[in-house]
Amino acid sequence: MTAEEMLHSGGLYLPSDDALMAQQQRCMERLYGSLQLSARAYHRILRVARTIADLEGAEEIGTAHLMEASYYRPSMEYWGN
């Protein structure tokens, strides 16, 4: 689904795991384990990665988009834990 289709659909588009290729799925699995993500944080990374891909004009979410999105997540040091 392109950014234009998402805009005209009127609904919130949340990329599912089915939308990811095998390499991106493995990347998300590694991020999930290493960053100890909650389900909410996992989906937030997917949403941010989709936005990054849209800004670049990419049809698919790439591994680079996922990694960039994960960098925007505040660390535990930010929260004082």
- The most confident of 6-10, 14-18, 38-42, 54-58, by mean pLDDT: 54-58
Tell me how far apart the alpha carbons of residues 60 and 35 are, in angstroms, rounded to a whole number: 23
CA 67 to each of CA 3, 6, 10, 16, 63: distance values in angstroms, whole numbers, following the listed order: 20, 23, 28, 17, 6
Burial class, 53, CB count within 10 angstroms (exposed 0-12 / middle 13-18 / buried 19+): buried
Chain segment 16-53, per-residue pLDDT in tens = 555 688 899 999 999 999 988 888 999 999 999 999 99
Q: Calculate the average pLDDT of the chain.
A: 80
Q: Taking the complete model, does pTM exceed 0.85, yes or no?
A: no
